Structure 1
Amino acid sequence: MIKQHPFSTELFKQPTWRIIDQTTLGSSFHALQSFAMDDTLCTSIGSEDSPPTVRSWVHPRTVVLGIQDSRLPHLSDGVQYLKDHGYEVIVRNSGGLAVVLDEGVLNLSLIVPEIEKKIDIDSGYEALAYLTEQLLSPYGITFETKEITTSYCPGKFDLSVGGRKFAGISQRRLRGGVAVQIYLCVTGSGSARAELIKGFYERSLQTTETKFTYPSVDPKVMASLAELTEEPIQISDLMKELFSFLKDQGSELMSSQLTISEINLYDFYLKRVIERNEKAIDPN
């Protein structure tokens, strides 16, 4: 299990948590908009114009690449493979490598300020691992926090049960705000998602040697929570657990969308994200 670092538990005892729930927007909400949202909220929270925020989001059939993925020698072949399978392809502005998003994957962004106290990288990861532990406690799930090297987007804060990964965590730091982001494979087939990314790397690498070592993806090491628990667990169930947990910390929950001043920031960051993405996917 995760280390019981005091920061992990104290972080959630905020007077107010702002909630931005975007899990039901469907195809009208593009994944690039998500990354612009988190940049906007980092800036707003870092300048103390917003309380700490939890944002939840779901995107249909999208593969999110990391910056290193954009340097693959045959990237255009890999991107075409993903598009042929019905997936949109974008490059994110936080760390990590390729991940799959679809209707069965819940994403959570925990966005907090660094005004009073510097938040080291591991503390941010530990906080989201702790939150995941609370969300899954009703299901009796005990998970490990360690790197699953043959998963897609491997990292030392991979969450797994019996060596099968169901979640990964990344971070984004901007203008005094920290966004710690997790994807949770809730329903669907973990191995099918991994098979897709395996095919992407095969076509993007071919026989070319690279200085950076990309993961050799084994579909058997990926699973969804529904597969691991053999229960009909749904994203809506975890959202209920999230709200319940935050209320139990004595926090007031404030549901909202962006303010007028944040919308102006959002327009700026969205334009920047789109331009960066176009250069990464198609540098010509």
Structure 2
Amino acid sequence: MSEAQNLLIQEVWRVIDQSAVGLHASALQSFGMDDTLCASVGSGLSPATARTWVHERTIVLGIQDTKLPYVKDGLDFLQKEGYQIIVRNSGGLAVVLDRGVLNISLVFPEKEKGIDINRGYEAMYLLIKEMFADFQVEIEAREIIGSYCPGSYDLSIGGKKFAGISQRRLRRGVAVQIYLCVTGSGSERAGLIKQFYSLAKRDEETKFSYPEIDEGVMASLSELLGIDLSIEETMLRFLKALKERSQRLESGSLIAEEWPVFEGYHQRVVERNEKFFNGI
């Protein structure tokens, strides 16, 4: 058994399902929540925790996106298209969230040996492959050039990306996060980000390299698998795969000791966003 597979095996997995209630909350809460869970799991207050979340139409920008020379023009376009905009507190570039995108965070304790960054990515990759093992498709993990927020652990089928993985490390907790485009049009989501970069960058030379988006290299799982896959069915597949790697799943929410921590981390993200939007 590989080290990545071992990482998924936990005596208890606490599961916080916000795939429905998240529709009524700002995505800023999700980033405060994952920081809270990193601190809680890292300190041993909580067991390893899996959190699922879905938000209404939201564009999540990376720090580098805020430095685009004409960022306000790009933001104005996204707002006219009916999207909320937030800036996350970690790396990466712009991604699209909506009712057809399921986000999963796996939060592990970083014990004595530590968790190598690729081991965290590989663990999520293995879990996703198992979730869809009944389909005769090969899910690859490699960078998809032309996708938004490209990375070495883009997940794709037939060269078309449907998911991206990131990590957040805080206080000896490691959150491995993935967005899964489950339903809807992957190319439409990509076209939205393409237009954002076109307006926010124009033809200016920039120190940082932004992706040249190709709408044809992104798709949803429903499109790639040829079925009408729902968020609910994907959730069931996720829980089944996780259950096979633990003695038990515990459904829950934040415990009393975690709420003050959440309020602090959430406030930090809110203030960072206010500073950015007030300054443009």
Tell me the distance in 2 between the aligned counterparts of 1:151 and 1:106: 18
Q: 1:90 aligns with which of 58, 78, 86?
A: 86
SS of 2:132's equivalent in the other structure is helix
Q: Does 1:112 align with 2:129?
A: no
Q: Does 1:215 align with 2:241?
A: no
1:140 aligned residue: 136
Tell me the distance in 1 between the aligned counterparts of 2:104 and 2:23: 18
1:237 aligned residue: 233
TM-score by length of 1: 0.96
SS of 1:246's equivalent in the other structure is helix
SS of 1:263's equivalent in the other structure is helix
- Listed as ranges, the matches of 1:57-206 within 5 Å are 57-206=53-202
TM-score by length of 2: 0.97
Q: 1:36 aligns with which of 32, 36, 41?
A: 32
The CA RMSD measured in Å over matched residues stands at: 1.2
Give a deviation string over 1:22-80, Cα, whole Å, max 9, x none.
Answer: 00115322100000000000000111000000000000100001111011111111111
Q: 2:20 aligns with which of 20, 24, 29?
A: 24
Counterpart code for 2:18: Q
How many residue pairs were aligned? 280
Tell me the distance in 1 between the aligned counterparts of 2:134 and 2:112: 34
Q: What are structure 1's unaligned runs of at least 5 residues?
A: none
Tell me the distance in 1 between the aligned counterparts of 2:25 and 2:113: 34
Residue identity over aligned pairs, in percent, reads 54
SS of 1:273's equivalent in the other structure is helix
Give a deviation string over 1:205-227, Cα, whole Å, max 9, x none.
Answer: 01211011100000000000000
Give a deviation string over 1:232-259, Cα, whole Å, max 9, x none.
Answer: 1111112111211222224210111111
Q: Is the 8 A contact 1:93 1:172 kept in 2?
A: no
Give a deviation string over 1:161-203, Cα, whole Å, max 9, x none.
Answer: 1111000001100011000100000000000000000000001
Give a deviation string over 1:87-138, Cα, whole Å, max 9, x none.
Answer: 0000111221000000000000000010233111111111111111011112
- 1:144 Cα shift? 1.1
Counterpart code for 1:117: K
